[in-house]
Amino acid sequence: MKNIQFVDLKRQYDAYKDYIDLQIKEVIESTSFIMGPKIKELEDILGSYVGVKHAISCSSGTDALLLALMAYAIAPGDEIITTPFTFIATAEVISLLGAKPVFVDIDETSFNINPHLIKNAITDKTKGIIAVDLFGQPADYHEINKVAEENKLFVIEDAAQSFGATYHGKRACSLSEITCTSFFPAKPFGCYGDGGMVFTNNDQLADLCESIRVHGKGNHKYDNIRIGINARMDTIQAAVLLGKFPHFNMEIDKRNLIADIYQNELGSHVLKPKILDHNVSAWAQYCIRSQRRDELQAFLNKKGIPTAIYYPKPLHLQEAFSDLGYKAGDFPVCENIARDILALPMHPFLTNHEIDTIVESVNQFT
């Protein structure tokens, strides 16, 4: 029998092969490799899926965040509040523009930024907040948008892990003024390389992102009205996403079914994740917690069950951010979770037998 995969992209490709291959072939035969018609088609489909007026495809989730910050003209001296418990890209783009990431500890239950701690981190240099929907569960946007509005800050939703999730019935990628997602292969909605998207209902921000995405273009490519970057999405990646999209809702349902089984059947010797009542998670990751995390990981590894640690080192303790002057102990909730968290295999192609094997193995660890 084939080994259990942490994320099984091969089974997914085998299941959708015909349509994905057809979509890719159409791009190759049309030779519209850069900004071909499938780019617009994908933007229209995903914009209406998340319920947002403008969808701007781009080269990665990281570049989506960069485009959003550049659209707000973030520059040296500015401060942006964000979570220390996320992938490096969320905060990296802030530093890349010469601005300063200001971290705020997370909520113990959702693992997302604690909105009640944001106020204390605001200074006269603060321009905005980047909230992250970690592991697929949306952050608390009612509270985050409220504190932002009171202090005239913008909010960027980093929905790299939450495409397909909902918050009070609204789709992730529609929960703040401008939102960003990633189509990295292992994300809930992944392509076959790098890809990302920015969503906004704001016409002016959309225009800025579209311009910055193609070297600050004005009316045409060789009319350059601002400094931009090359952040276009590859048309072949758009084709892959178009090939997968018809199955996407089924995949989100399947992830939720698997998560339900984990929730019901894993023993209480591990701490299980909690999805707040108003949220539906996209289950990018299913993460348990255990005081003996490293032992548990080794135990599961011996049984052929792949696991991963997101994230072993919070961002405020990363060497790349050492000049920010943070130290161990600054964000105790986040630091504790980083010590005991463990992600189990999660993808829509896990078989019942595999799910049973994973549950039994975790439950054998005593």
Ligand X SMILES: *Cc1c(COP(=O)(O)O)cnc(C)c1O
Interface with ligand X by CB under 6 A: which residues? 60-62, 86-87, 89-90, 132, 158, 160-161, 182, 184, 194, 196
Task: Record the tokens describing residue 173, joined without a space.
Answer: 């990628």
State which residue, 67 or 296, has the beta carbon closest to ligand X: 67
Whether the Cβ atoms of residue 283 and residue 83 lie closer than 8 Å to each other: no
Q: How far is the CB of 163 from ligand X (least distance, A)?
A: 11
**DSSP secondary-structure letter at 254?**
H
Would you say 39 or 296 has its CB closer to ligand X? 39
> Residue 168 CA to chain centroid, in angstroms?
19
- Count Cβ atoms within 10 A of the Cβ of residue 201 and give its class: 0-12 exposed, 13-18 middle, 19 or more buried: middle
Which residue's CB is nearer to ligand X, number 185 or number 306? 185
Task: Identify the CA nearest to 166 among candidates 183, 188, 148, 182.
Answer: 188
Q: Residue 194 CB, nearest distance to ligand X (Å)?
A: 6
130 close to 118: Cβ distance less than 8 angstroms = no
- Measured from the CB atom, the residue of 68 and 266 that comes closer to ligand X is 68
Shortest Å distance, C-beta 278 to ligand X: 21
> Which of 190/243 has CB closer to ligand X?
190
- Report the alpha-carbon distance of residue 349 to residue 51 in Å, rounded: 28
Minimum CB–partner distance for residue 255 and ligand X (Å): 16
Is the distance from CB of 140 to CB of 134 less than 8 angstroms?
A: no
Q: How far is the CB of 92 from ligand X (least distance, A)?
A: 9
Residues in the chain: 366
Give which of 197, 152, 143, 153 is closest to 174, Cα–Cα.
Answer: 197
| Phi, psi (rounded to 5 degrees) for 166 | -135, 155
Q: Which residues contact 48 (CB under 8 A, 6 or more apart)?
A: none
Query: Of 87 and 141, which CB lies nearer to ligand X in the complex structure?
Result: 87
Helix (H, G, I), strand (E, B) or coil at 106: strand
Helix axes 203-213, 61-71, angle to 10 degrees: 120
CB of 244 to ligand X, least distance (A): 16
**Residue placing its CB nearer to ligand X in the complex, 139 or 296:** 139
- Residue 354 CB, shortest distance to ligand X, in Å, is 24
